[in-house]
Amino acid sequence: MKSRGFTILEVTVSITVLAVIAAVLAPTISGVADAYAATQRVGRATDGAAFAMDRLVRAIREIPERDSSTELAIAECGEGVLRLSDVWEVRLVGGDLVETPAGGEPSLLCSGVDRLVIEPLAADGRTVTDAATAHVLRVGLIAGVFEILSIGMPRLMMTP
């Protein structure tokens, strides 16, 4: 009489072979999952920093003049801060880049920022100058392992 099932030995060997295959593949699958998670974290951080940089450069482009003169209405400019005379500002607080519009509530532009540097440059684009007479503002944002650099040219200084 012929049996139609598996013997206990066949089942044991099958389970053992599957266990060995799973043990070999587990570190690979775990590594792929970790790499995916790290890629997602870096992507979110990059998107946040790029958004903050875009917002800063747009704000620099729109800096108003000071009291009907040819000077920019910049009250403070430098390491971790850009503040205009009308009280609009972007400031690095802890690791958060916070924007505060004139008369408004602060809002988070980006978190995880290590350093924000804003340098006012003269018309030649190289010489550091007074913020009120700057033709170009160089902006550097460092967040984690990457650095984003850009320049902003206030429209007031672009007109002859």
What is the predicted pLDDT for the residue at 24? Answer: 92
Domain ranges of the chain: 37-158
How many CB atoms are closer than 10 A to CB 30? 10
User: pLDDT tens digits for 13-62?
Assistant: 999 999 999 999 999 888 999 999 988 888 888 888 899 999 999 999 98
Sequence-distant (6+) residues with CB within 8 A of 108 are: 96, 97, 98
Instruction: Give the tokens for residue 158.
Output: 């672009």
Q: What is the largest CA-CA distance in the chain?
A: 107
> pTM for this one?
0.74
Per-residue pLDDT for 155 more than 90?
no
User: pLDDT tens digits for 74-96?
Assistant: 989 999 999 998 779 999 999 99
156/151 Cα distance (integer angstroms): 15
